[in-house]
Amino acid sequence: MTSPISTVIPEITIQGNRPVTTSIAVANFFGKHHKDVLKKIRMLECSPTFTTANFCAVAITTQAGFDERETEAYEMTKDGFVFLVMGFTGKKAAAFKEAYIAEFNRMEEEIRQQKNDMIFGDSRTLVIHLDEHGNIKSTEKVPDDSVVCTFQSFKFWVERNGWLVIRRDDLTELFNETLRKIGLPATLPNPQ
C-alpha cells in the first residue's frame, strides 16, 4: 500500500496560508484504506469547534482506471492530523507520525519566514519612496486588500497556489523550441 518511510515525503500543501493534508494522503502514507481513515475521522470525539477549525470535507477527483471520479475526503490541519493519528500504533506508525509532523513544522516555518517579508495593507500603511540621498521623494497609501513584498515572497506565494512564474522571453523560447521539435517554424519573436 505504501513505500518505506525513507522514500516517501508526507503530502502537505498550503491552503489559506496554512499547511494542510488530506485523508487520502494520510491513508496512502500510513498504508491504510481510505474508507478506514474516513471512518476514524467521523468517529473522532472532539468538540464541534475543534472539528470545524481542523477538518474540512472536500471532494477530490481521483483516477479510476481510465475514468475520473469524485471521492469524498477531508482536508486537515496539523492539529487535526495529530488528533487523528494519535490512535495509530506501532514502530512504523510512530516513524510515520514523526515524518508528517516534521514536514508540517518545516512548512509552517517556511510560511513564517515568508510572512516576515510581507507588509499587509491597512488604513495606516504607507510606502515611502526615497531618492538616492535618502530624502523622502513621495509616499503612497497601501490599499487594505494589498500586500507589499519582495519578488521572492510574491513568487513563493503564487507558486504555492498553483501559478507558474516564468519570464516572458523564457516562455517565448520554450514555445518556439516546442514548435521546432514538432517540425513547425518558430513564430513568436523574442521580446526585447
Count of H-run helices and E-run strands, the chain = 7, 8
Which has the closest alpha carbon to 108: 87, 144, 81? 81
Q: What gap in Å lies between CA 64 and CA 22, rounded to an integer?
A: 18
pTM of the complete model: 0.53
Residue 17 confidence (pLDDT) above 90? no
CB-based contacts of 189, cutoff 8 Å, min separation 6: 172
Collapsing DSSP to helix, strand or coil, 151 comes out as helix
CB-based contacts of 8, cutoff 8 Å, min separation 6: 2, 29, 99
Give 26-78 pLDDT, tens digit per residue.
998 888 999 999 999 999 988 999 999 999 999 988 887 888 889 999 999 98
Could you give the percent of the chain with pLDDT greater than 70? 91
Give 103-118 pLDDT, tens digit per residue.
888 888 877 776 666 7
Element (H, E) at 49: helix 48-54
Split at pLDDT 50, 70, 90, the class of 4 is very low
CA–chain centroid gap for 134, Å, is 39
Taken as a whole, the chain contains a residue count of: 192
Give 131-173 pLDDT, tens digit per residue.
888 888 888 888 888 888 878 778 877 777 778 888 888 888 8
Residue 57 cell numbers, joined:
470535507
Q: What gap in Å lies between CA 10 and CA 20, rounded to an integer?
A: 11
Which has the closest alpha carbon to 103: 67, 74, 78? 78
Domain boundaries, the chain: 5-108, 118-160
